[in-house]
């Protein structure tokens, strides 16, 4: 029987993976009165995700102004999480072999019409088509950092049913997020690619000794009116993660300059990974929050910043 896209009415959304992104994705789908189920093999992660959603949901749902807070359930039973769901979003670690296995499981246990979405930052779902029986329902749905950064990239697996993409473009805004379709396969989708260029050129400016990281961030703030800056954002994401991402781009486009990666490698090999190790382009001090202290007399800027990976 040919695949038919689902009718979401009255059906839950399932999120697979309760980490940084999974719990945030669940939060957004819970803002409009619906039911959301989160699956994770780790009881600890499930408990943390539940606490996170419970704390955030009232204010975020009020801001979005839909039908109000919905019901969020957490479970260590995958089949239970998926039962009846119209949409399943995987947010498991960025390891393709793991995602292949997860998609094979989702294909087996999800309702036959359920959309299977991947929140992967860098793997197109074309990579997973052979792990599902119906690639028509497989699609990239890439969130940034909700509830503060609410753009979403939607991208075909190359085989995705057009009705699936149209349904997502219509449904996602009801949950306080703003979908944009990547109209061709693109590593980094839309905004991540643009942000990659900003990061790369910022790193080149520092690697060449043109300006310090603090100066680049300060100039970013003065000229854009936005708080934060590329270096503070990279510190928040983690410089090891930033390096992995840049290496992925470079593997696809060998002409990219090496200076930015060499600078990142210096920080990573010396253990300065950013906020998570207390030191990156900025010093954060032992046991501190993410308030940066410039290392060498640079100008201090505000603690809040964008953290697009």
Distance, in Å, from the CA atom of 241 to the CA atom of 192, rounded to the nearest integer, reads 13
The answer to whether residue 94 forms part of the interface with ligand NAD (CB under 6 A) is: yes
Both tokens assigned to 56 = 């955030």
Q: Is the Cβ of residue 86 or residue 143 nearer to ligand NAD in the bound state?
A: 143
Total residues binding ligand NAD (CB under 6 A): 23
The answer to whether residue 76 forms part of the interface with ligand NAD (CB under 6 A) is: no
Distance, in Å, from the CA atom of 162 to the CA atom of 158, rounded to the nearest integer, reads 10
Q: Where does this chain touch ligand NAD (CB under 6 A) — which range of 115-123, 175-183, 245-253, 258-266?
A: 115-123
Q: Where does this chain touch ligand NAD (CB under 6 A) — which range of 2-10, 79-87, 92-100, 279-287?
A: 92-100
DSSP state string for 171-212 = HGGGGT-EEEEESS--TTTTHHHHHHHHHHHHHHHHHTTSS-
The answer to whether residue 7 forms part of the interface with ligand NAD (CB under 6 A) is: no
Q: How many helices (H) and strands (E) does the chain have?
A: 10, 8
Q: Give me the helix-helix angle, 230-237 and 239-252, nearest 10°.
A: 100
* Inter-residue contact 84 to 113 (CB < 8 Å): no
Can the peptide bond before residue 147 be classed as cis, meaning omega within 30 degrees of 0? yes
Q: Is the Cβ of residue 117 or residue 292 nearer to ligand NAD in the bound state?
A: 117
Distance, in Å, from the CA atom of 37 to the CA atom of 29, rounded to the nearest integer, reads 10
> Partners of 35 in the beta sheet?
71
Phi, psi of 74 (to 5 degrees): -115, 145
Closest CA to 96 of 133, 135, 122: 122
Q: Where does this chain touch ligand NAD (CB under 6 A) — which range of 16-24, 28-36, 108-116, 162-170?
A: 16-24
Looking at residues 250 to 269 of the shown chain, list those that interact with ligand NAD (rule: CB under 6 A): none
The answer to whether residue 42 forms part of the interface with ligand NAD (CB under 6 A) is: yes
Interface residue with ligand NAD among 32, 34, 110, 119 (CB under 6 A) is: 119
Provide the Cα torsion 116, 122, 127, 132; round to 10°. Answer: -20
Interface residue with ligand NAD among 31, 121, 156, 160 (CB under 6 A) is: 121
The answer to whether residue 92 forms part of the interface with ligand NAD (CB under 6 A) is: yes
Q: Binding string to ligand NAD for residues 127 to 166, with x set by CB under 6 A, is what?
A: ----------------x-x---------------------
Q: Where does this chain touch ligand NAD (CB under 6 A) — which range of 61-69, 114-122, 168-176, 281-289?
A: 114-122
Q: Which residues contact ligand NAD (rule: CB under 6 A)?
A: 16-22, 39-42, 45, 91-94, 102, 119-121, 143, 145, 309
């Amino acid at each position: 029987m040919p695949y038919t896209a689902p009718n979401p009415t009255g059906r839950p959304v399932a999120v697979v993976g309760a980490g940084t992104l999974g719990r945030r994705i669940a939060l957004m789908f819970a803002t409009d009165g619906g039911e959301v189920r989160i699956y994770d093999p780790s009881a600890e992660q499930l408990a943390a995700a539940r606490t996170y959603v419970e704390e955030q949901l009232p204010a975020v749902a009020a801001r979005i102004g839909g039908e109000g807070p919905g019901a969020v359930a957490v479970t260590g039973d995958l089949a239970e999480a998926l039962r009846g769901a119209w949409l399943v979003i995987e947010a498991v670690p960025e390891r393709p072999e793991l995602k292949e296995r997860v998609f094979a499981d989702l294909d087996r246990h999800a309702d036959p019409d359920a959309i299977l979405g991947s929140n992967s930052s860098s793997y197109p779902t074309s990579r997973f088509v052979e792990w599902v029986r119906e690639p028509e329902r497989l699609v990239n749905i890439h969130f940034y950092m909700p509830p503060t950064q609410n753009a979403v990239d939607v991208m075909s697996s190359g085989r995705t049913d057009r009705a699936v993409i149209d349904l997502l473009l219509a449904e996602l805004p009801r949950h306080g997020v703003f979908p944009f379709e990547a109209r061709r396969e693109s590593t980094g989708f839309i905004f991540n690619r643009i942000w990659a260029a900003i990061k790369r050129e910022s790193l080149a400016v520092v690697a060449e000794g043109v300006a310090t990281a603090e100066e680049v961030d300060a100039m970013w703030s003065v000229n854009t009116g936005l708080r934060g800056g590329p270096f503070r954002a990279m510190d928040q994401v983690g410089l090891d993660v930033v390096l992995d991402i840049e290496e992925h781009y470079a593997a696809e486009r060998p002409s990219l300059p090496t200076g930015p990666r060499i600078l990142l490698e210096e920080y990573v090999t010396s253990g300065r990974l950013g906020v998570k190790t207390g030191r990156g382009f900025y010093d954060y001090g032992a046991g501190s929050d993410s308030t940066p202290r410039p290392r060498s007399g640079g100008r201090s800027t505000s603690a809040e910043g964008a953290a697009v990976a």
